[in-house]
Amino acid sequence: MRRHRNVKIVATLGPSSETYEMIRALHEAGADVFRLNMSHGTHDGIREKHRIIRQIEEELNSPIGILADLQGPKLRVGAFAKGEEELEEGASFRLDLDGAEGDGARVCLPHPEIFQALEVGSTLLVNDGKIRLRVTECGPDYAETEVIVGGTISNRKGVNVPDVVLPLAALSEKDREDLEFACELGVDWLALSFVQRAADVEEARELARGRAAILSKIEKPSAVEWFDNILAASDGIMVARGDLGVELPVQNVPPIQKRLVRKCRAAAKPVIVATQMLESMIESPMPTRAEVSDVAAAIYEGTDAVMLSAESAAGQYPVEAVTTMDNVAREVEDDPTYTQIIEASRVVDRTTVADGIVAAAREIAEATDIVAICCFSQSGTTALLTARERPRVPIIAMTNLVGTARRLALTWGVNCVMTGTLDRFKQAVLGAARAAREQGYAEPLDQIVVTAGVPFNVPGTTNILRVAPCQESLIYATDPG
């Protein structure tokens, strides 16, 4: 399905969006990638959603990406005898490994690895940062804290430890089981939660064995600090602003978001901006002005994709939320200021033949009356490099691998078309011209730029560029061989 925008939309599926009718409606409204949250639901339920997505993909002849989001390690306090307690500012509160029910003076924190990492002065955040504790004394099985910001603490609330790197594996036992299940199912992307270092990504890649691309969620200060290494180890990035906004001062998040998006673009790796983008649409058919501005800001920054979480998974207006994102994206991308911002932030560090080919394709398209850039891509790398250039004309990625087409559903501006196996460049040109016409990007007398690698079907060999007409008789006339 042709989209009249470049930024992609990721929609999370859940109780509000698990039927065939609703998933199809979300895709037709603009969802390019569906997120399956492994924190909720059963394997049987996730398998059924996957089946429905693939059925819709076949019916509409439209490659759809599927992202499985692994839960990651969840740190929570234990239970309280009364269910909840009120912590007063300035009071003392103890966290320990004692499994007894908690009270106003203490509670169990069943994570010895936290106590191993804590130091005097460390901060603990409870219940999404609503309660803030500072460590005054600690040992291998306890931490005495002072309540800096008080409030109600209740059973099994989440705990964040923002200023230390925890000796935790990014993949819990549940995550390992979910990862294998998702890979066997045939998802396209695996999202890793609470990544702290590149080694976390490398562990997941080893387990995935090439069956899915690895996307790292940036949720912790340590991930921001070591971002360059994490980016190098990952196939894509999600700026997950929920936990990031808990563990860092909220005013730090916007500049971090902008910086990470630019680094991802420079590396030609897709990046998603996520969390609370249209949160009010969980209960309202209309977003707030601030939310619309937030989505627009991410698009102006050049992000590859914007994501809906509870809005599409559990909200009352999932289709309206996707439609709103689609409308905002189209309006922003029609703004001349958008083009100015995107082109002003273009990366010019090019070191390979493929870098030069895609840059030349973009420059030719912008200097002449070219209507589209068609790139043949086995692994998806050429399409990613072309998208990094952020050309003003559509990108048509031609591939004979459905897995490549599905993964590219997350990438800015890339429209995937399946093609047969090729062995001659002339076949590629004819196929590109046909696809451009059939997909509505070109008329017979229009011209396109075609890039490919010769020999064909060898990843990473992009080395040829041709300007070609979209009428087959003209192609034969200019290249009778």
Residues with catalytic function = 35, 76, 217, 275
Query: How far is Cα 108 from Cα 98, in angstroms, rounded to an integer?
Result: 6
With beta carbons less than 8 A apart as the criterion, state whether 227 and 267 touch: no
318 C-beta neighbours (distance < 10 Å), count: 28
What's the Cα-to-Cα distance from 265 to each of 66, 181, 230, 291, rounded to whole Å? 21, 31, 14, 24
Q: Which residues of 89-108 are buried (b: 16+ CB within 10 A; e: fewer)?
A: eeeebebbebeeebeeebbb
| Coil/strand/helix, residue 353 | helix
Phi and psi dihedrals of 99, rounded to 5? -75, -5
Cβ neighbour number for residue 56 with a 10 Å cutoff: 19
Q: Give yes or no for a cis peptide into 480 (omega within 30° of 0).
A: no
CA angle 393/398/399 to nearest 5° reads 150
State both tokens at 301: 């920054």
Residues whose CB falls within 8 Å of the CB of residue 254, separated by 6 or more in sequence, listed in order: 297
* Percent of residues in the chain assigned helix, strand, coil, to nearest 5: 40, 25, 35
Cα four-point dihedral sign 336, 414, 13, 23: positive
Number of H helices, E strands in the chain: 18, 21
DSSP 271-282: EEEESSSSGGGG
Determine the Cα–Cα distance for residues 15 and 313; give it in Å rounded to an integer: 6
Query: 145 Cβ partners below 8 Å, 6+ apart?
Result: 92, 93, 94, 95, 124, 133, 134, 135, 136
